[in-house]
Structure 1
Amino acid sequence: MRARDLGIGIGDLPTGAHNALTDVPGVRVGHTTLVDPPRVHSGVTAIVPDGVGPDSPRPAGVFVGNGYGKLLGSTQIAELGALETPVLLTSTLSAFRAADALVGWMLERPEGATARSLNPVVGECNDGLLSDIRSRPVREEHVRAALDTATDGPVVEGSVGAGTGTCALGFKAGIGTSSRRVGIAGEETTLGVLVQANFGGTLRVLGRTVTPADVGLPVPDPLADTGSCMIVTATDAPLDARQLTRLARRSVYALARVGAAYGHGSGDYGLAFGTRPLGTPAGPAVVPDDRLDVLFTAVLDAVEEAVLNSLLTATTTTGPRGDTRHALPGGALLKRGR
């Protein structure tokens, strides 16, 4: 079940048709999931803006809440405000192989046909508790499969793709997504988010703390905050790179709503991109800064709901050393809420 299946809707803004990142026109998502219990629970998730390439970049911004992680390609985004490849999410030690595979895939496509330089963007979370991370199971064919099968329909959540081996807030977590429809500057626009949740803290649902013991689950051994959370936001609202950086910043702030600890060993990253190029004579005017508040609200609400979805749709998983993280049971959560 997702949060809304339990009657938990965050905020007052309406969602898109699938309540997912793919509600933003021109954005597709694909997963490759690698499972060989109990040794391997890993994978890769691809977020693919239609037509993106070095000659057709999309405006983008990035924000680092706590920088204990790897977001490959982030410095060029911060410098130039441009995204020129799809965004990949994967396991920490597989990030570098995924970046190489992404470069090869891009160079073979029309969008990369003339490229002499390319900035692959790859984020990661450490799934070493529930997977043999040193085996680096994600290979080129897995990256290509995620890119090639990316679709614009409903997004599979939980223990899939880059979220197969992740855990957060004392529970099994994974991939989660949500969207909001926003009227801004006289135009109907959509904002969507996707999270790869793998961070420490104590879960908060609608302002109330929820621990494994509260919902009848074994209490896991405490761990240092050695995970991360990667948050990708997309919108078709006409924003420039500076404004998208402001959105990315608030996406990381939103983790506080669900109880994130922002610990020493947690890499908390937000990346936001727009789907339509700006600055052309026929293009829409950039949204004035004093009209951005509704988008800020949208990203805060969507990230909170996406994290809850990542927990509620996950599957209880045991790793190679016997460590187990249990999925958050929706039924028990409802009973506690009453």
Structure 2
Amino acid sequence: MGQPPRRARQLGIIVGGLPTGPLNAITDVADVLVGQCTIDDGADLHTGVTAVVPRLAAGALPAAVSVGNGYGKLVGSTQVDELGVLESPIVLTATLSVFRAADALLGYLMERDPAGVSFNPLVGETNDGYLCDIRRRPVTERHVRDAVASASAGLPAEGCVGAGTGTTALGFKAGIGTSSRRVDVDGAARTVGALVQSNFGGTLTVLGTPMPAAELVAGGAGEEPPGNSCMIIVAIDAPLDARQLGRLARRAVFAMSRVGAAYQHGSGDYAIAFSTGPRPRPVPDALLDPLFAAVGDSVEEALLNSLFMAVTTTGLRGRVRHAVPHQQVLRRLAAAGRLHPA
């Protein structure tokens, strides 16, 4: 029987010294919900939809996009860049399903605002074609609407679920991961939350300790899947403007290096950051350092959760991607003196 999925902290792997929110998830940020829909036939289809659904009380929220490498299809990103606002839920899915997902999200937005004449659905993707028959484009309007409709403030499922059902990263099975941090900024307690869809190459690194898949997996890691990418979503309840959120988003992409990302040619690495906070005045730039630290730590832990919560998966043409072997990771961390005491 395979190992049970466990979050990094359940294994004693503690990233940084900042406290987490109650759920250690992006949903610790007030007014941020997450919903998911999974497509898994146990054979050739391993994919789905993950939706981050902020409550858009005023119709839009300050937002920014950072492009680490633009080898991807992030629908709606240029308008977010131009206007600095988010006007829709953020949907994540598979590369060749992103256009159907965008159309489905457009239909949802039009129903919500019958008088509107222009809408900007924001839909990102990674390529899960190593384990899934991506050309079948199995994601439908119903899957997108189910993900959005099911969004809740609870702890999002992680690993092989939603848009992470068929993804791989750093030589292992990966998926969806999330984490959060609490910090004091300008005299107020603030929460930063991150959610990731991991699907990128490199050598897994945990707390600075390399964990090569070729050494941890019996028979080696196998071939490197094409189309490696990563989508990162950062939510914050501090009053930041779009320019400041762009600074946070860039640091979210930087955080991929902490877990061993190779930032390869074919890796479409994007971060989307948005604020749900009140906007009487932005936080002064000189006080952003705690938020930068919170973004780095929450994204790093979300990436680790996306791997540690995934399970070994057999997919298209019998291809296999193994879960990260927890006990081997813990032995290496203990030998390196990096394991947090139980």
Q: Could you tell me the TM-score, scaled by structure 1's length?
A: 0.95
- SS of the residue corresponding to residue 244 of structure 1 reads helix
Work out the number of aligned pairs and report it: 329
Q: Give me the whole-angstrom Cα distance separating, in 1, the residues matched to 2:226 and 2:202.
A: 8
Q: Give me the whole-angstrom Cα distance separating, in 1, the residues matched to 2:222 and 2:324.
A: 17
Q: How far did 1:106 drift? A: 1.5
Q: Give me the whole-angstrom Cα distance separating, in 2, the residues matched to 1:173 and 1:203.
A: 11
Give 1:293-308 correspondences, 5 Å limit: 293-308=289-304
Q: 1:210 aligns to what?
A: 211
Q: 1:17 aligns to what?
A: 22
Q: How far did 1:182 drift? A: 1.1
Structure 2: gaps of 5 or more residues: 1-5, 335-342
Q: Is the 8 A contact 2:61 2:274 kept in 1?
A: yes
Q: Give me the whole-angstrom Cα distance separating, in 2, the residues matched to 1:32 and 1:103.
A: 18
Q: How far did 1:215 drift? A: 2.9
- SS of the residue corresponding to residue 238 of structure 1 reads coil
Deviations along 1:184-239, one digit per CA (max 9) or x if unpaired, are: 01111100000000000001111110022433433123326522100000000010
Q: 2:251 aligns to what?
A: 250
Q: 2:38 aligns to what?
A: 33
- SS of the residue corresponding to residue 96 of structure 1 reads helix
Q: 2:94 aligns to what?
A: 91
Identity %: 59
Deviations along 1:227-264, one digit per CA (max 9) or x if unpaired, are: 21000000000100000000000000000111101000
Q: How far did 1:315 drift? A: 1.2
- SS of the residue corresponding to residue 316 of structure 2 reads coil
Counterpart check, 1:163 vs 2:164: yes
Aligned-CA RMSD value: 1.2
Counterpart check, 1:286 vs 2:291: no
Q: Give me the whole-angstrom Cα distance separating, in 1, the residues matched to 2:116 and 2:187.
A: 38
**In the superposition, relative to structure 1, how do residues 120 and 277 fare at CA in structure 2: closer, same or farther (>3 Å)?**
farther
Q: Give me the whole-angstrom Cα distance separating, in 2, the residues matched to 1:334 and 1:210.
A: 10
Q: 1:140 aligns to what?
A: 141
Q: How far did 1:76 drift? A: 0.4
Q: 1:104 aligns to what?
A: 107
Q: 1:334 aligns to what?
A: 330
1:145 maps to a residue whose letter is: D
Q: Is the 8 A contact 1:203 1:258 kept in 2?
A: yes
**In the superposition, relative to structure 1, how do residues 164 and 40 fare at CA in structure 2: closer, same or farther (>3 Å)?**
same
Q: 2:121 aligns to what?
A: 120
Q: Could you tell me the TM-score, scaled by structure 2's length?
A: 0.94
- SS of the residue corresponding to residue 317 of structure 2 reads coil
1:19 maps to a residue whose letter is: N
1:255 maps to a residue whose letter is: M
Q: How far did 1:175 drift? A: 0.2
Q: How far did 1:37 drift? A: 1.8
Q: Give me the whole-angstrom Cα distance separating, in 2, the residues matched to 1:115 and 1:21.
A: 30
Deviations along 1:156-182, one digit per CA (max 9) or x if unpaired, are: 000000000000000000000000011
Q: Give me the whole-angstrom Cα distance separating, in 2, the residues matched to 1:119 and 1:219.
A: 44
Q: 1:82 aligns to what?
A: 85
Q: Is the 8 A contact 2:130 2:225 kept in 1?
A: no
